[in-house]
Amino acid sequence: MRLLSRSGLEFLSLRAGIYTDAFPLYLNWYPSSTKVLLPDLQPPVSQGKIAFTSRGELGEGIATLIAKGGPAAFPSINPKTDKNIVLLTGVDVDTLEDIARAISDAKKGTPEALRVEYLEPEQWVAESARDDEGGKQRGWFEARLAVLEGFNRGDAEVVDLALGTLLGRRPERGVEGVRRLVRGDPGFTWHQNHV
């Protein structure tokens, strides 16, 4: 970004929210899961808000921006920084607990709701890595812990109206997207959840 800024070239950087479609990655959820483990952090995970954003809507929004002539066609969309960054996010935020409830809602009629269990961070890393269905090792969960800590600090709660402007409608909320994905394909997996 620094090189682009110094180049004198006209540019626009599009930044996407956290992909709704990747929800299994953040919960380490598989279609066979009856519970998800989350680290017991401070502030609590239940307070970590995330602006989940549908990849399909991101594609549609970016295509609309390009097809209609870029930012000039949408004067209400202004870069949020001097670095010409436009945020494309949902306009609502959800917690990982909200996402777990959405999975349970989508799987109504299954034997039991998805349970959420909290473990001390070190125990969470060890327990998550033990016999992980996707074969992920301890280091993967140590890195994921840093991401979840960032969520709790508010790193993923920034929302912007630009995507809604491009779509001409309110973007799908994270919990809505998760219900749609799981109902549409009860065996839904995110390719990066498996090693």
pLDDT of 87-96, one tens digit each? 899 999 999 9
State the pLDDT at residue 79: 64
pTM for the model stands at: 0.89
Q: Length of the chain in residues, anyone?
A: 195
Count of the separate structural domains present in the chain: 1
Give the domain extent around 176.
30-184
**Residues 140-173: pLDDT tens digits?**
999 999 999 999 999 999 999 999 999 999 999 9
Residue 116 lies in a domain: yes
Residue 12 lies in a domain: no
* Dihedral angle, C-alpha 65, 78, 150, 192, nearest 10 °: 10
Complete DSSP assignment for 117-162 = EEE-HHHHHHHHHTT-TT---HHHHHHHHHHHHHHHHTTT----SH
Residue 66 lies in a domain: yes
DSSP assigned state of 1? -
Separation CA 66–CA 58 (nearest Å): 12
Residue 139 lies in a domain: yes
CATH code for the domain of 92: 3.40.50.720
Separation CA 39–CA 127 (nearest Å): 10
Residue 175 lies in a domain: yes
- Per-residue pLDDT tens, the chain, 195 aa: give them: 677 777 777 777 888 999 999 999 999 999 999 999 999 999 898 899 999 999 999 999 999 988 887 766 777 776 655 567 888 999 999 999 999 999 999 988 665 688 999 999 999 999 999 989 889 999 999 999 999 999 999 999 999 999 999 999 999 999 999 999 999 998 888 876 655
If we measure between CA atoms, which residue out of 48, 52, 25, 83 comes closest to residue 163? 52
Residue 110 lies in a domain: yes
Residue 193 lies in a domain: no
**Does a cis peptide bond (omega within 30 degrees of 0) precede residue 111?**
no
Dmax over Cα atoms in the chain, in whole Å? 60
Residue 77 lies in a domain: yes
